[in-house]
Amino acid sequence: MKCRVEGGEIVTDSLEFFLADTCNLACEHCASSAPLVKKANFPDLLEFKESLALLRRVMRSKQIKFLGGEPLLNKDIAKFLAAAKASGMFERVRVTTNGLLLDRMGEEFWHNVDVVEVSRYRSGENALADAPVTRIRETAFRLGKKLEVVEKPEFFAAVVDERIPDPETVARVYADCGEAHRAPCHTLYKGKLYRCSRVHTLDLRLSARGVPHAPFTDVDGLAIGPGLSADAVRVYLESPEPLNACSFCLGTSGRWLAQRQLSEKPGKKVAFSPDLLQQAPGLLRRMRERVLAR
Ligand code: SF4
Ligand code: SF4
């Protein structure tokens, strides 16, 4: 993906930030692997502010998107939203949530958020009911905030618990990855910038599963420091080389599967199979041939 450069600054559509790595739901095929993460790993507010101050010198984004895991599990969420607003780096502040805790959000939260995106999952006993959705709509309307309720009957298969055996497949999935290139989900995490949002949670997931892998969180990001240049950000974001994490990831090429809650955390290991990929001209056939030839 070619970065947009304006006045010497990199301009991106979105920057993502995890406010919690855990979640109060346990969706199968959660792209953030939240059901496998044991600790919330709440971020440090000061580190967040410092990273934004450094990043602001070389980059800005149309929006910052707070997510997780479930971001509303973070009791300091309003402080992070306020810090993002104060940074001057974003045109709008978005929170993506499963909505279960939205009723509890106070004035400071609503004051600092611009868009609340509720991913609505109807499976499982904890599904968000109609009554709270109505209340949330009323609150957002009264305060002049945008509310987007997105029904999620399906998920695409996102990550796997074994290395994808074929480097050609890894390269193709990466080249077609909407997270990295089309609707970029560039992510800020612990003082580093990542091309996509799956790196650190996939690292935690594989560690929880006992799967040998490279330390993605350490090696796949770009450190944000005083010497960071716009050119270094551009080169990192535009790189045609897959990340180490891509060897365990289906990007946005995974098959659509019915959304459901796991009856038990962390759920079964997800083995790699070409069947987990969407039908794509030539790709599935070539992979089947390779698997059969193994
Ligand atoms: S609501 Fe589901 S998909 Fe979203 S973070 Fe939680 S477990 Fe993952
Ligand atoms: S790990 Fe690679 S394939 Fe997966 S979302 Fe990130 S960039 Fe895309």
Q: Give distance in angstroms: CA of 106 to centre of ligand 2.
A: 35
Ligand 1 atom at minimal distance to the Cα of residue 33: 8
Ligand 1 centroid–CA 222 distance in Å is: 26
Helix locations, the chain, DSSP H: 45-55, 77-87, 107-112, 130-143, 167-175, 199-209, 216-219, 230-238, 283-293
Q: How many residues does the chain have?
A: 294
User: Residue 28 CA: which ligand is closest?
Assistant: 1
Place of tokens 């580093």: 192
Contacts of 34 (CB under 8 A, 6+ apart): 21, 22, 23, 25, 26, 27, 68, 69, 70, 201
Alpha helices (runs of H) in 58-129, residue ranges in sequence order: 77-87, 107-112
Residue pLDDT, tens place only, 247-265: 999 999 999 998 889 888 7
Best probe residue, ligand 2, of 246, 272, 276, 277 (max atoms within 8 Å of C-beta): 246
pLDDT at 126: 84
Model's pTM, two decimal places?
0.92
**pLDDT for res 280:** 57
Integer Cα distance of 176 and 172 in angstroms: 6
Q: Which atom of ligand 2 is nearest to the CA of 159?
A: 4
Produce one character per residue of 36-49: b if its CB has 16 or more CB atoms within 10 Å, e if not: bbeebbbbeeeebb
3-class SS of residue 38: coil
> What pLDDT is attached to residue 263?
82
pLDDT in tens, 206-244: 999 999 999 999 999 999 999 999 999 999 999 999 999
Residues with CB under 6 A from ligand 1: 23, 25-27, 30, 32, 34-35, 68-70, 98, 119
Distance 288 CA to ligand 1 centre (A): 31
Pocket perturbation via mutation, ligand 1, pick of 18, 19, 27 by most ligand atoms within 8 A of CB = 27
Nearest CA to ligand 2 atom 4: 251
Mutate to test the pocket of ligand 1, among 18, 19, 24, 32 (most ligand atoms within 8 A of CB): 32
Please give the distance, rounded to the nearest whole angstrom, from the Cα atom of residue 293 to the centre of ligand 1.
37
> Please, what are the domains in the chain?
9-156+178-241 (3.20.20.70)
Tell me if 180 CB under 6 Å of ligand 2.
yes
Ligand nearest to the CA of 159: 2
Q: Is 245 in the pocket of ligand 2 (CB under 6 A)?
A: yes
Below-50 pLDDT ranges, the chain = 281-294
For a substitution probing ligand 1, which of 25, 155, 263 has the most ligand atoms within 8 Å of its CB? 25
